Amino acid sequence: MARGRVRRALRRRTVTAVLALLLAATFTVYLMAGDTFYPFDDVFRVVLGERVPGASFTVGRLRLPRAVLAVAAGFSFGLAGVTFQTLLRNPLASPDVIGISSGASAAAVLAIVTLSLDETRVSALAVAAALAVALLVYVLAFKDGVAGTRLILIGIGIAAMLDSVISYVLSQAAEWDLQEATRWLTGSLNSAAWQETLPVLAALAVLGPVLLGRGRSLSAMQLGDDTAAALGVRTERTRITVIVAAVGLIAVATAATGPIAFVAFLSGPIAARLVGPGGSPLLPAGLVGSLLVLLADFTGQHAFGTRLPVGVVTGVLGAPYLVYLIIRTNRTGGSL
C-alpha cells in the first residue's frame, strides 16, 4: 500500500510538472507566432518591460494580455468545473450544464440589448447573475442535504429557461446590439485587455487557494458525507465554501471572456485520466483548462481561413464528448 501511494503521488507530481511545462511552452509560442513572427529574445525583452520597435505594440499590447487572460480564465474554468464534478460525484456537474454560465449569459444579453450598459457594468451584472443562479439552484436542490442528481436536473431546467430568455431577447435586438451580444455569448478573447484580465487574476489569486487547499476534503466527500464526516471533514461547511469559491471563479471568468464552451466540462475528466486514481485532479484540471483555452484560441486565430472565437473551437471539441458521456451513462445504467 505504501508503494502504491508513493507511485500515485509521483505520477501526480509528474503529470502536473509536464502540464506546467507544456503550458509555458505554448504560452511562449503564442507570444512569438502570428501574422508577424518575433524571436524569443524580442518577446522576452517586451515581457521585461523594455521597448522593442514593433514587438512592444504587437506582443505587449495585443498578444500578452490576451494570452494571460486565456491562461487565467482557462485555469478558473478548469478548477471550478472539476470542483463541481468532484463534489457532486458526477461528470455532468459542470457550470456549463447546471445553469451558472447561462445565468451570466442571460444577464449580459439583457444588459447589452435592453439596458445598453457599458462593458464594465455588463461584467458586473453577469457576475451577480451567476452567483444568484447558483444560490437558486442550491436552494431548490436542498432537501436533507444536496443530492448530485437532483442539483444537476434542477440546474439543467433553469439553464433551459434562461436560454429561452436569451433567445427571446436576441430576437428583439437591433443589429448592432445583436452582434455584440452574439460575440459575448460565443466566448471570445478578441477584446482582451488588461482591464478585463486583472479581475480574473485577482479572483484566481483569492479563490484558487481556497479550492486547492480543500483537495483532500473533496476527495473524502466522494466517498459519501457519512464517511467524510467520520474522517474529520466538516461536510456542509466544506460544500458551501467550495461552491461559493467555484461559482466566484466561474462568474468572474465568464464576465471577462463570455461562456467559453465546455472548458469546465472537459478539464476534469482529462486531468483525472492523466493523474489516475487516488490523486486530486484540482491543480492538473486548472492547467488543462489553461492549455485548452490557449490552444483553442491560437487555433481559431491561425488554423483556418478566417479568425474564429475561442468558444467555437472548444465547442467543437466538447460537444462530441458530451454526447459520448450521455450514451455511455445510458448503456451502463448509471445515474446522471
Could you state, in chain order, the average pLDDT of each consecutive group of 10 residues for the chain (336 residues)? 72 92 96 90 90 89 94 95 86 79 88 83 87 87 70 87 90 80 84 88 94 86 76 80 89 88 88 82 94 94 85 85 70 48
Model pTM?
Answer: 0.89
DSSP 146: B
The predicted pLDDT at position 263 comes to 92
pLDDT tens column, 279-313 = 788 999 999 999 999 999 999 988 887 888 899 99
CA distance 34 to 104: 32
Quick one: pLDDT at residue 2?
64
Q: What stretches of the chain show up as alpha helix (H) in DSSP? A: 2-32, 40-47, 55-57, 64-88, 100-113, 119-141, 148-171, 175-186, 194-212, 215-221, 225-230, 235-257, 263-275, 282-302, 310-332
Contact of 106 with 165, CB cutoff 8 Å: yes
Domain ranges of the chain: 2-332
What integer pLDDT is reported at residue 336 of this predicted model? 36
| Per-residue pLDDT at 326 | 67
pLDDT of residue 201: 95
pLDDT of residue 138: 83
pLDDT of residue 335: 40
The DSSP call for residue 335 is -
Largest CA-CA distance found in the chain, in angstroms, rounded: 65
For domain 2-332, is the CATH number 1.10.3470.10?
yes
Q: What angle do CA 330, 332, 333 make, to 5 degrees?
A: 65
Amino acid at the residue 221: M
Type of residue found at 188: S
Instruction: Provide the 3-class DSSP secondary structure of residue 53.
Output: coil
